Amino acid sequence: MSVGRILKHWVMSPIPVTMAFPQSSLNAVSRCIEECETRTSAEFRLIIERSIPSKDLRRNITDADRAKELFGQYGVWDTEENNGILIYLNLSDRAIEIYLDRAAARVVKQNELNEIVKEIEESFSKGRFESGVCDAFRELTKLLAPAFPNKPVENPVPNEPVVL
């Protein structure tokens, strides 16, 4: 457990997510997800976390582990075709994780995910948080639509971003 990481999370705790994602941006991301889901049967979710909870910091949890945990906790896995996708943002660590369910992971290659993360980072460095996330969802849609074309299904994963 890194003392520096703990301090960073404690210092970031009071800083609101709304500095990067005001409600209007969260609404726009929700609409973007809804639009993407008209092109593919894949299900998308965005979870934004200011800082990792203290109990998880004490466990020295990584951002990748936290994304996997939230993927399960928020039911992103609960899709008929095992094609749920989570974009997880940890603002304290400045971390971006994309976690894919097993069928989606067979379609999207790791180098493609790395490129999408890089593009998100570039957008964020310019203060373009909303467009960075929406562009990532659109790129994931392009990659997934051939394998998972849209079909009339219930929306098992809510489109609204989760802010923790």
Three-state SS for the chain is CCHHHHHHHHHHCCCCHHHCCCHHHHHHHHHHHHHHCCCECCEEEEEEECCCCHHHHHCCCCHHHHHHHHHHHCCCCCCCCCCEEEEEEECCCCEEEEEECHHHHHHCCHHHHHHHHHHHHHHHHCCCHHHHHHHHHHHHHHHHCCCCECCCCCCCCCCCCEEC
The 10s digit of each residue's pLDDT in 114-136 is 999 999 999 999 999 999 999 99
This model's pTM is above 0.85: yes
CATH number assigned to the domain with residue range 3-163, chosen from the 4 options 3.50.50.60, 3.40.50.150, 3.10.310.50, 3.40.50.1580: 3.10.310.50
Give tens-digit pLDDT for 53-100: 878 777 888 999 999 999 999 999 999 999 999 999 998 888 999 999
